[in-house]
Amino acid sequence: MDKFCYFGEMLSVDGDADAAVEARIRIGWNKFRKLVPLLTQSSMLHGSETWPVRKESEVALQRADVRMVRWMCDIEVKDRVPSKELRERKRLVIDDIILVLQQKRFGWYRLTRVVLDKGP
């Protein structure tokens, strides 16, 4: 058994976040199809504060996010519109998912520093 679900979070035996990232991308797509598209990033990044994220995981999250933005704007890859231009042109209020991930992780780091500095 290489991966398992623990309190709703996918964990892998080797300690990386690949299983969690895959599960969250799948959940994000499901939410995207059912709910408001702005909720997808929060469902894809749920619990990401503690993930040991590798570059491959960031790329997977970013690709899924860009596909969702393109789907919202009804723009296909063959139209050759860069993602940055697409966000600017459509005036989307959705931040880049990697930026959101970094902000969440930094917020978690700040919180743990405050708790550790206070001590027992």
How do residues 43-81 score in pLDDT, each as one tens digit? 888 888 888 888 998 999 989 888 888 887 778 888 888
In this prediction, residue 84 carries a pLDDT of: 76
The pTM (predicted TM-score) of the whole model is 0.59
Q: CB atoms < 10 A from the CB of 41, how many?
A: 23
Give the tens place of pLDDT for each residue, 73-107.
Answer: 778 888 888 877 776 765 666 778 888 888 888 87
Rounded average pLDDT over 111-117 = 72
For the chain, the domains span 3-118
Q: Are 108 and 49 in contact (CB under 8 A)?
A: yes
